[in-house]
Structure 1
């Protein structure tokens, strides 16, 4: 499947990537916790998220048709971008040239989009604050979102990452034979740079018969100084540093495993 497939008509495969990252931070006092939430809201407001998703659209060769963004009170932001395959040329009356019906276009537009939502949170008793980003990319046609993974990982402080990829529908080759997959994949990790993977422990749960792929990644060697919000590590006694490190690692392991393991 390394060569480009010769298809009959439009590629009807729908490819969906769900990308979730978690950033964990130690914020001891209520003021530090509030300041962390404020910092996250400023760093990842709807304007910056729109720029990130627009770059994602360009990377996968999609045309941005519409952008909707919103910042929320007290915290959080979301962005939705409607996409079209660059191979689809839209006329001013929203009809498609090149022998593709307008009904097909509407279906295509409904299937091709990028969304992002942010979820900052903290608990006053644990002194642990977390920031979650959910990005969903759904494409129809030749577009595949997997090539954007390194870019997405690099644009967020990614301590824990969960990714789901699925392919639905079918297209046909010129002889009429159904094709339920138009590209080679054994794992989502195949589309992540080796240098990036070196920083994480990763595990897969794949259902090949159903074209379902799931990967989880956990940062290997977190440095405590990177997880202290507005606190100098040298102001903390060694014993307290160890306690904080254990608390942060516990939080990461529970998020990674999806269960309260302690």
Structure 2
């Protein structure tokens, strides 16, 4: 097990961020759909995901205690990091510190629709931290690390800690919406909706790209090779797929 981590008191707040992204692509044949899945599976293999999560750990001031990664057959990958907050040395008469272990995980789920020629790549990232660390500062990095068409995020703060006078503190930072932690330039590219339950420190935000630039969604197909009617049909199918994922239910 190695040397035990020395703790200097506790901040018992647990902060959990669940970050899910969906990337949608048009591949006109079954063969191209499988090729897209193979491409995206290689592009975001366990090695690449490890780099992304390692950078995320550095951004929140955590050190990696243990790393586990795995690629799967026929597709998909997982990475898990056990993390600890950087050591805190007490200064002065008031000594505060933080529960010193938590984790970051990522899983990928490539799949495709058999009729509409659409393939979807889903990534789930969960960041659970204890003490003063909050993962919200990493959202811009996560969004930019993937081709994010639809994004759903949940942030929850659990437990309580105490101040030096013994009063319970159920939140140690200000938050009204997850959107407050995302660059306004990035937010402008998305339609965003909040469902928050502030009474229990639970925040949910979902986002969907406002504009579809069709050429960005084609795999092995040139935009110029498609007739206006086909372009319109593909765009409509993309919009329907994205709208259902964004809504979380079958609409069409």
Q: Secondary structure at the match of 1:249?
A: helix
Residue in 1 that maps onto 2:152: 162
8 A contact 2:192–2:208 mirrored in 1: yes
Residue in 2 that maps onto 1:213: 203
Structure 2, gaps ≥5 residues long: 1-7, 90-94
Q: Secondary structure at the match of 2:242?
A: helix
Residue in 1 that maps onto 2:87: 87
Separation in 2 of the partners of 1:85 and 1:185? 22
CA deviation profile, 1:160-214 (whole Å, cap 9, x unmatched): 0000000001111000100000000000000000000010000000000000000
Q: Secondary structure at the match of 2:154?
A: strand
Q: Secondary structure at the match of 2:156?
A: strand
TM-score under structure 1 length normalisation: 0.89
Cα RMSD after superposing both structures: 1.6
Report deviation, 1:28. Answer: 1.1
Report deviation, 1:99. Answer: 10
Residue in 2 that maps onto 1:125: 115
Q: Residue 185 of structure 2 is aligned with which of 190, 195, 199?
A: 195
Residue in 2 that maps onto 1:20: 20
Residue in 2 that maps onto 1:3: none
TM-score under structure 2 length normalisation: 0.92
Structure 1, gaps ≥5 residues long: 1-7, 90-97
* Structure 1 residues 1-262: aligned runs within 5 Å: 9-87=9-87, 108-109=100-101, 112-262=102-252
Residue in 1 that maps onto 2:4: none
Aligned residues: 240
Report deviation, 1:78. Answer: 0.4
